[in-house]
Structure formats: C-alpha cells, structure tokens
C-alpha cells in the first residue's frame, strides 16, 4: 500500500515535515532510518524517513522520492511484529510460506487499509 503526493514548497524537507506533524496530529511521529526499504543515498548511507505510528501494528513511512514529491508507504513499525506479519522478501518460499502469507494478507488487509487512509489524510492538508 502506498501513494505519492506533491507537497507545498515550504514542506520540502523532512525536518519541516516533522514540525508540521508534531502540531497537527495525534499519531506518534519520528525521524528514523529507513529499515523497511533499505534505501541508500549517493554515499551508501541509509536514507532517513519520517515514521508515523498509529500503533505497534500500523504505521506509515514517508520520504521524498523527488523534490516536493512525498512517497507514503504502509509499514509495521514494531520490528518483531514486522518479522511475523510484514512482507517476506525471500527469493524462494516453501508452499506453506506462500499459503500462510496469503491467509495473513487477507486477514490484515482491511485494517491496514483503514489505518493507512487515516494517516494519509494528514498529508492531504499540505498537498499542493
């Protein structure tokens, strides 16, 4: 689950985005390294993103994919919960992993979509 939106020029830095989030919503927000996507910059260092947490099971990472273009992706903020319920990135999976992953996705998809849409509405206020 993800979405891209274009922001106003005054919110084109993660720090300014954090200032907006601290005053605007009731969700917990933090500036952290992107451990979910393992994005790296030109120097090989991990990129930072803003993590918006609704709970330990529902969250969103936001980062700039281009200037003024904010990329929003659903994540599970808790590392342990992400290991069990997050998307598997293994190249090869057994049949049990494929079936279990399908069942898990069906069970969680409704609540994940609802949480994502709630967190996404915050950023629509500052869209260009």
Give 18-30 pLDDT, tens digit per residue. 888 887 777 888 8
Which range marks the domain in which residue 77 is found? Answer: 2-124
- Gap between the Cα atoms of 72 and 62, Å rounded: 5
How many structural domains comprise the chain?
1
Question: Model confidence over 68-104: pLDDT tens digits?
Answer: 888 888 887 777 666 656 665 555 667 766 676 676 6
Of 123, 128, 126, nearest in space to 3 by CA: 123
């Amino acid at each position: 689950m993800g979405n891209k939106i274009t922001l106003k020029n005054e919110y084109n830095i993660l720090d300014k985005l954090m200032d907006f989030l601290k005053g605007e919503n009731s969700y917990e927000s933090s500036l952290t390294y992107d451990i979910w996507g393992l994005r790296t910059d030109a120097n090989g260092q991990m990129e930072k993103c803003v993590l918006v947490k609704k709970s330990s099971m529902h969250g969103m990472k936001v980062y700039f994919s281009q200037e003024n273009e904010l990329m929003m992706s659903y994540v599970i903020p808790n590392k342990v919960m992400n290991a069990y319920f997050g998307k598997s990135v293994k190249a090869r999976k057994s049949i049990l992993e494929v079936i279990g992953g399908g069942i898990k996705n069906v069970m969680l998809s409704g609540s994940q979509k609802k949480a994502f849409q709630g967190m996404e509405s915050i950023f629509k206020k500052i869209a260009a």
